[in-house]
Chain A
Amino acid sequence: MKTYYDPEDLKKFGKIGEFQKSMADKFFDYYGEVFKEGALTAREKSLIALAVAHAVQCPYCIDAYTVDSMEKGCDEEQMMEAVHVAAAIRGGASLVHSTQMMNKVKEISM
């Protein structure tokens, strides 16, 4: 069955340089640098990536960072809490805009 998302495509990620090499090289260097141990641990970064993957709803990233988080020793509870953080920010981001709606309502109401 043909689908837009194929798990096998994740393995081809590294080959995006085939169409534009210099930018891909810069991107992957940067990517590697970002995920190194730093002021945040590699483990903390993996959980952030997992949460962001859910926010941007990227199935490749969800698979990749689920495995990565487990490899880095995170447990199910921590991973689910990370997703809740993403959900809370997404939900909150919608809801906080309701203040604009409320402002407008008040502006045009008697």
Chain B
Amino acid sequence: MKSLKAQNHPLSNSRYELDLLESPETGIPFSEKLTESGLYPLKPTQIEILQLNLGKMCNQVCKHCHVDAGPDRKEIMSREIMQDCLEVLKNQEITTIDLTGGAPEMNPDFRWLVEAIRKIKPQAKIIVRCNLTIILANPKFHDLPEFFKKHNIEVVSSLPYFTAMKTDAQRGDGVFEKSIKALKMLNEVGYGQENSGLILNLVYNPAGAFLPGSQEGLEAEFKKRLANPYGIVFNSLFTITNLPISRFLEYLIRSGNYEVYMEKLIEAYNPSAAANVMCRNTISVGWDGYLYDCDFNQMLELKVSCRESQHIRDWNQQKLNNREIVINQHCYGCTAGAGSSCGGATA
């Protein structure tokens, strides 16, 4: 399977996606709902998390991917931009650095960056969003679990289901089996094991046009079904709602589910989830150094609204703290039901 970009698909154009999302048929504007909840204009609370998107390159081509990542995507963060990010980290009170992609480990400077961040921030939480199969994709990645352990990195990995059929339907043939192998390798070095201090969290997102159920209930089920028969342990399960952008949007339209899905998201709007959306304490940095309110806005090419501070080189804490967060209809994905963020449910 190719990325939408490689297929030259209209949905690889963010303007086209936004036009679709903004069309009146999509339903009540998100800004109106926020106004009702007393949250409009949406403002940040405090910037605690810096999420770095190290590139769109990935060894997988998942059907729901909001990044439209894949092996045919060549956009990756350069060492120069990484250095700009390190400068910001030196000077700012950021407590969590979240490394994502694509497959962030495929960036040739990934390990250099992790070591540099650790030097600057020995106590900070560093998260890597590891797709699991990358660990087995090439012998040069086999020691990633040891590398993560050495730098006390928290691993967050997607596993949409505890059976092969549903996992492979979303992430590609053979992904489940490889993910299980990779999880065992992580467990072997101590990840997810009680009292090891090495955190392994899993991400569940629905393999289809439906919303995630209760995080607690699904976590209990995943723990049971991964322990037996696979003997796998992990810390927490994060439930994440699929946002209607990029490849998931393409799926929704192709399968005739778009309208019903949007209706569902809007109907499930939850004001307390809206108060806790992740863009209020996160800044997302694109592979080319531009700044966004979140990874979704990044993919829609909606830069932060403060023009003076739209690139990592021009980081201006005060301007960023006072900015208005850019919202659109896709934001309903973050506020439905128990809410959704890179750290799971929010309400």
Which residues does A use to contact B, with CB under 8 Å? 37, 41-43, 67, 70-73, 75-76
* Alpha-carbon distance between A75 and B166 when the two chains are bound, in angstroms: 8
User: Is B163 an interface residue when CB atoms closer than 8 A count as contact?
Assistant: yes
Which of the residues A37, A43, A71, A76 comes within 8 Å of B211, measured between beta carbons? A71
What is the chain A residue whose CB lies nearest that of B163?
A75
Q: Show 19 residue pairs from A and B whose CB-CB distance is below 8 angstroms, ordered by the A residue.
A: A37-B214, A37-B217, A42-B213, A42-B214, A43-B213, A43-B217, A67-B210, A70-B208, A71-B210, A71-B213, A72-B213, A72-B217, A73-B161, A73-B213, A73-B218, A73-B221, A73-B222, A75-B161, A75-B163
Q: 12 more A-B contacts (CB under 8 A) besides A43-B213, A71-B210, A72-B217?
A: A37-B217, A42-B213, A42-B214, A67-B210, A70-B206, A71-B206, A71-B211, A73-B161, A73-B217, A73-B221, A73-B222, A75-B161
Size band of the B side of the interface?
Answer: 10 to 19
With both chains docked as a complex, state the minimum distance between the C-beta of A68 and any C-beta of chain B, in angstroms: 8
Q: Which residues of chain A come closer than 8 Å to B210, judged between CB atoms? A: 67, 70-71
Secondary structure call for the A interface = helix
Shortest Cβ gap from B220 to chain A (Å): 8
Q: Are B163 and A41 interface neighbours, CB within 8 A?
A: no
Restricting to B207-231, which residues have a CB under 8 Å from any CB of A?
A: 208, 210-214, 217-218, 220-222
**Chain A residue contacts of B166, Cβ below 8 A:** 75
Residues on B with C-beta less than 8 A from A42 are 213-214, 217
Residue of B nearest to A70 (CB): B210
Taking Cβ atoms with an 8 Å cutoff, the residues of B that contact A are: 161, 163, 165-166, 204, 206, 208, 210-214, 217-218, 220-222
Tell me the complex Cα distance, A9–B30, Å. 26
Q: How many A-B contacts if CB must be within 8 Å?
A: 35
CB distance from A64 to the nearest CB of B (A): 12
Q: Which residue of A lies closest to B337 (CB)?
A: A71
Chain B nearest CB, measured from A100 CB (Å): 43
Residue of A nearest to B264 (CB): A67
Separation of A68 and B217 alpha carbons in the complex (Å): 13
Complex-state Cα separation, A35 to B218, whole angstroms: 16
A69 CB to nearest chain B CB (Å): 9
A37, A67, A71, A73 pick with most chain B CB within 10 angstroms: A73
Whether A41 and B208, one on each chain, are in contact in the complex, defined by CB atoms closer than 8 angstroms, is no
Closest chain B residue to A72, Cβ basis = B213
Complex CA gap A37/B216 in Å reads 11
Q: How far is the CA of A70 from the CA of B206 in the complex (A)?
A: 8
Give A40 to B222 CA distance when docked, in angstroms: 17
Instruction: Give the docked Cα–Cα distance between A72 and B220 (Å).
Output: 11
